[in-house]
């Protein structure tokens, strides 16, 4: 049985039997993986607090031939985000990130940029900022998953959208639309939010100033991106209304 040791982020755990847990984790070296942690429910000795949701860990596991689940041998805490989750807003943001990772990442596909994105965003949220890192997460999650619509072209007339110009979108449309082509009942995406999206594509999160951020900033951009995620998944995210309710 090949053994693997890698950094990982715990996405969620659920009981398998009286003693065992199933652990869903996103590993740097192996992608999103599910495994069995034997005795994790009965004894805290072996895994301790390392299996808390969104813990950053170093995990060692065995691939089990012809079995879907790997077998966790050990799991050592690198960084815990558990304390931060006592803050309701941070807890909701973390749940949202975990759900998106769980549903969006294909199983066993290595995705180092996505792994770094999650760690970066969780650390930023840990510093008390929610909306700037969440917007950054949404934008890059959709980009890395490969379904960010072109931000500068109308999907209907193919005309270019000028910088600073508003655009429109709806769930059914393939991309953004210009003022002339927009359909009834569309959501608008402000010119500011389009510029911000460009800024976030070109610069690191640390280079995006944190002044002036509140829930209303780039809310339209997050709506566009989260709609794209749900469209791609063909299902609603359970945690999205919780984020909207913050």
Q: Least distance (Å) from Zn ion to the CB of residue 182?
A: 8
157 forms part of the interface with Zn ion (CB under 5 A): yes
Q: Which residues, listed in sequence order, are joined to residue 9 by a DSSP beta bridge?
A: 26, 56
Write the binding mask 25 to 64 for Zn ion: x where contact by CB under 5 A, - elsewhere: ----------------------------------------
Which of 157/238 has CB closer to Zn ion? 157
Q: How many residues form the binding site for Zn ion (CB under 5 A)?
A: 6
Residue 208, both tokens: 């995006």
Closer of 59 and 178 to Zn ion (Cβ): 178
Strand-pair partners of 189: 167
Q: Is 186 in the site for Zn ion (CB under 5 A)?
A: no
- Name which position in 105, 151, 154, 243 contacts Zn ion (CB under 5 A): 154
Residue 46 makes CB contacts below 8 A (sequence gap 6+) with 37, 39, 40, 74
**Rounded distance between C-alpha atoms, residue 51 and residue 44, angstroms:** 10
Classify each residue of 90-122 as buried b or exposed e, where b means 16 or more C-beta atoms within 10 Å of its C-beta: bbbbbbbbbbbbebbbeeeeebeebbebbbbbb
**Residue 178 interacts with Zn ion (CB under 5 A): yes or no:** yes
State yes or no: residue 181 binds Zn ion (CB under 5 A).
yes
Q: Is the dihedral of CA 159, 162, 165, 168 positive or negative?
A: positive
Count the neighbouring beta carbons within 10 Å of the beta carbon of residue 176.
24
Figure out which of the listed residues 4, 12, 41, 156 binds Zn ion, where binding follows CB under 5 A. 156
- Considering only the stretches 81-89, 156-164, 184-192, 229-237, report the one whose residues sit in contact with Zn ion under the rule CB under 5 A: 156-164
Rule CB under 5 A: say whether 104 interacts with Zn ion: no
Binding residues vs Zn ion (CB under 5 A)? 154, 156-157, 159, 178, 181
């Amino acid at each position: 049985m090949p053994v693997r040791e890698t950094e990982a982020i715990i996405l969620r755990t659920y009981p398998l039997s009286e003693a065992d847990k199933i652990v869903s984790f996103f590993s740097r070296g192996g992608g999103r993986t599910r495994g069995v942690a034997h005795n994790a429910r009965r004894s805290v000795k072996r895994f301790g607090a390392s299996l808390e949701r969104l813990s950053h860990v170093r995990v060692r596991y065995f691939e089990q031939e012809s079995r879907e689940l790997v077998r966790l041998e050990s799991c050592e805490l690198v960084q815990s985000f558990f304390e931060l989750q006592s803050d309701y807003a941070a807890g909701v943001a973390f749940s949202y990130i975990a759900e998106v990772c769980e549903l969006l990442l294909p199983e066993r596909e290595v995705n180092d940029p996505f792994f770094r994105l999650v760690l970066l965003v969780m650390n930023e949220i840990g510093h008390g900022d929610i909306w700037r890192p969440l917007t950054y997460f949404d934008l890059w999650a959709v980009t890395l998953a490969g379904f960010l619509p072109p931000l500068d072209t109308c999907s209907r007339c193919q005309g270019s959208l000028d910088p600073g110009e508003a655009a429109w979108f709806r769930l059914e449309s393939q991309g953004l639309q210009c003022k002339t082509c927009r359909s009834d009942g569309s959501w608008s995406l402000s010119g500011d939010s389009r510029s911000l999206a460009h800024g976030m594509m070109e610069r690191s999160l640390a280079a995006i100033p944190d002044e002036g951020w509140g829930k209303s900033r780039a809310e339209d951009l997050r709506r566009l991106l989260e709609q794209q995620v749900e469209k791609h998944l063909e299902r609603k995210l359970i945690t999205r209304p919780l984020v909207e309710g913050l």
